[in-house]
Amino acid sequence: MRISIVNPNSTRSMTDTIALAARQAAARGTEILAYQNDAGPVSIEGHVDGALAVPGLLHALAIAERDGADAHIIACFDDTGLDAARSILQGPVIGIGEAAARMATLVARRFSVVTTLSVSVSILEDNLIRAGLSSLCASVRASELPVLALEADPEAANIRISEEIARAIDEDGAEAIVLGCAGMAEFAASLSERHGVPVIEGVSAAVKLMEGAAALGLKTSKRGGYAVPGRKHQGFAYPEGMIVHSGEAADTEPAE
């Protein structure tokens, strides 16, 4: 099967990290197709960045389905453009935020999310309400680390995230932790061992969920909310160069 993963921002190093994490999580025989929105903001932090990223993200996803992807992952924890993506694609689509939260509910009664900046907290809280998961979420906490700081100083970022995890466990009663940014993926295993609770990152969770959906042959329902857009959207002209296959991150070698 083929699963696409799209980085809605334009930071190449983050796309590479996301693609690597996805391929490490994928089963043998699953092909990960990675894409980057080169017209998007360098990171997605808040409502404005998310809105600016959506046109290029949708274009990338349309290309992915044309390239034969059976299912799709939006690699932003804000689940940027998720409903619109489900409306234009046939295959199932999930954002890494929803994927991680749903996975957390399988291993704990109460989970907390540790994300980047405070500006994202309300977005994540609203997403959890919409997904029907808010009653299972003990808290959404901001580490106050900008997205790009995760790559600039990973050691310092790991320490700061760990501090917030400790507070979520001690003060909020969290039984599992969801890492609220794709750039935190590499910290999950060490943080789980340090704190003695499951720590879930959204990229690998999304890969496993979409493998299951694709294996079952599921498609997105086209009745009601995710109905195919009307004629006014057909042939919509996206700006030239909106989406670029980005070298190593966009190759389509099967995951080992």
Q: Say yes or no to pLDDT of 238 above 60.
A: no
Residue 219 placed within a domain: yes
Q: Say yes or no to pLDDT of 73 above 50.
A: yes
Same domain, 36 and 66: yes
* Amino acid 233: pLDDT: 57
Mean of pLDDT values over 11-37:
94
Residue 59 placed within a domain: yes
Mean of pLDDT values over 222-230:
87
Residues 6+ apart with CB under 8 A from 16: 248, 249
pTM: 0.88
Total number of domains constituting the chain: 2
Mean pLDDT score of the chain: 89
Residue 170 is part of which domain span? 98-201
Same domain, 91 and 217: yes
Same domain, 90 and 28: yes
Residue 256 placed within a domain: no
* Amino acid 253: pLDDT: 35
Identify the CA nearest to 89 among candidates 106, 109, 64, 56.
64
CATH number of the domain enclosing 211: 3.40.50.12500
Same domain, 169 and 79: no
Of the residues 162, 178, 201, the one at which a domain ends: 201
Q: Please report, to the nearest 10 degrees, the dihedral formed by the alpha carbons of residues 98, 32, 44, 105 taken in order.
A: 20
Residue 156 placed within a domain: yes
Are 178 and 141 in contact by the 8 Å Cβ rule? The answer is no
Using the structure block, give the residue that is written with the tokens 């799709």: 72
Same domain, 153 and 190: yes
Same domain, 136 and 111: yes
Same domain, 75 and 137: no
Same domain, 106 and 27: no
Which ranges of the chain would DSSP assign to H, the alpha helix?
12-25, 47-66, 82-88, 96-104, 121-130, 149-152, 154-172, 188-195, 202-215
* Amino acid 234: pLDDT: 56
Type of residue found at 194:
R
Using the structure block, give the residue that is written with the tokens 């750039």: 183
Are 207 and 1 in contact by the 8 Å Cβ rule? The answer is no
Same domain, 224 and 241: yes
Lowest mean per-residue pLDDT among 68-72, 110-114, 139-143, 144-148: 144-148
Residue 105 placed within a domain: yes
Helix (H) or strand (E) holding 70: none
Structure tokens at 30: 């699953």
